[in-house]
Amino acid sequence: MTSRFAVLGAGLMGRLMALSLKRLGYRVDLYDQGGPDGASSAAYAAAAMLSPLAESLDAEPLVVALGQASLRLWPEIIKTLPAPVFFQQEGTLVLWHPQDRDQAVQFDERLSRGQKTGMFDEPHRTLSAVEIETLEPHLGKRFSRALWLPREGQLDNRMLLKALYSGLLEAGVEIHWETAMTPAAVTADWVIDCRGLGSKADWIQIRGVRGEVLRVHSTEVTLTRPIRLLHPRYPLYIAPKPEGHYVVGATQIETEDTSPTSVRSALELLSALYSIHPAFGEARVLEMVSQCRPALPHHLPEIRWAGGRVIEINGLYRHGYLVAPAVLEAGLDLIKRLLDAPIGADWQNQQPWSPIYHLKEAA
Ligand SMILES: Cc1cc2nc3c(=O)[nH]c(=O)nc-3n(C[C@H](O)[C@H](O)[C@H](O)COP(=O)(O)OP(=O)(O)OC[C@H]3O[C@@H](n4cnc5c(N)ncnc54)[C@H](O)[C@@H]3O)c2cc1C
């Protein structure tokens, strides 16, 4: 008989997983405590930058490897969806103000070290003022140097969530909105727990890391690719989305508070935007969003299976979009191995299986 799956959480990972399982021919129920727009998920707030090299400054090599693999997988996933999703792979421009020059030197050295160890599949480059202007004419010669990460990308998170929702409806997944669920309460052969921060009661190491982003609209400045601005406190970026929208983010604060954006954060994010180009002063602030990223202590994603019918996928932290396709593949591979295993097999002892090992295989 066809296995019946319950996927808990319809944020980024849950939507991808439910759709993939349904397309593989299983019966799938998807539960979320919120509604179809995904506003209760970290996925809704995110800038959806796909920047493995830029993230390598703070992230583990595994995240970089999963990110590079995922950059190749996203176009394949998007192609199968019934609605358009803005996806771009035009690189990232890393900029800094003169007072933050030392950070640029360190960043450059870190990237060069990564390059030597074969960690990156494409080298970064230093650009002159003329080269910066050629890439982004609206910046003119405001910056004398930049670092250029040519293969990085981004997508539009809200378009993706919508397109995945259409895909789920089209495929016939049974979706239960406004339904908070726990693995113990759900009846299914298998439970895939993708509740992000909502899994805290079952996975105590999960914590939330607050992030705030702004969405602005500008008719006066045109940037065509994401810009990272080196900053002493947290990585700041400006990600241009379709129709003159820009996502400016993101703060990173060790708290699970999801109350509205603070004045301090708004000031810092808007100052960063204004410092890139004063014409952003006339942009309109459309939205200020705050959400928590689901994180594990090692800041790596994990797929956890303890021998029962529940598989947990969590810890996507600030890299959910960056790594999701590769994590999805690893999760599907684990599910396949479990379904193919002979009944009663002492599965854990048959293989040197560990979540990280499993994800390393995917990368
Ligand atoms: C401000 C911000 C900026 C970010 N920027 C980026 C970026 O540029 N690039 C990048 O790669 N990543 C970014 N991220 C990270 C990315 O958004 C997350 O890693 C990703 O969304 C995690 O996916 P998830 O599916 O595990 O969790 P979520 O997307 O949070 O989804 C979890 C879902 O579970 C549901 N849920 C919770 N409890 C229950 C329950 N009991 N029953 C049913 N449903 C439940 C929630 O409603 C939610 O829909 C950012 C995150 C934030 C907050």
Q: Could you tell which of 32, 44, 160 is best to mutate to test the pocket of ligand 1, judged by most ligand atoms within 8 Å of the CB?
A: 32
Tell how far the Cα of 11 is from the centroid of ligand 1, in angstroms. 6
Helix (H, G, I), strand (E, B) or coil at 287: strand
Q: What's the confidence (pLDDT) of residue 114?
A: 83
Q: Is 321 in the pocket of ligand 1 (CB under 6 A)?
A: yes
Q: What's the confidence (pLDDT) of residue 306?
A: 77
Q: Is 211 in the pocket of ligand 1 (CB under 6 A)?
A: yes
Which of ligand 1's atoms lies nearest the C-alpha of 292? 53
The pLDDT profile of the chain, 363 residues, written as one tens digit per residue, is 689 999 999 999 999 999 999 999 999 999 999 999 999 999 999 999 999 999 988 888 899 999 999 999 999 999 999 999 999 999 999 999 999 999 999 999 989 988 888 778 778 999 999 999 999 999 999 999 999 999 999 999 999 999 999 999 999 999 999 999 999 999 999 999 999 999 999 999 999 999 999 999 999 999 999 999 998 776 789 999 999 999 999 999 999 999 999 999 999 999 999 999 999 999 999 999 999 999 999 999 999 887 789 999 999 999 999 999 999 999 998 899 888 876 655 555 544 444 555 565 555
Here the tokens at position 208 are 């939330």
Q: Is 5 in the pocket of ligand 1 (CB under 6 A)?
A: no
Q: Is 310 in the pocket of ligand 1 (CB under 6 A)?
A: no
Tell how far the Cα of 228 is from the centroid of ligand 1, in angstroms. 22
- Exposure on the CB side of residue 129, measured as CA atoms within 13 A: 5
Q: What's the confidence (pLDDT) of residue 174?
A: 98
Neighbours of 106 (CB within 10 A): 12
**Nearest-CA neighbor of 114 among 89, 69, 72, 149?**
149
* pTM given for the model: 0.95
Q: Is 241 in the pocket of ligand 1 (CB under 6 A)?
A: no
Q: What are phi and psi of 219, to 5 degrees?
A: -100, -5
Counts for the chain of helices (H) and strands (E), in that order: 11, 17
Q: Could you give the domains of the chain?
A: 1-85+155-220+238-267+279-363 (3.50.50.60)
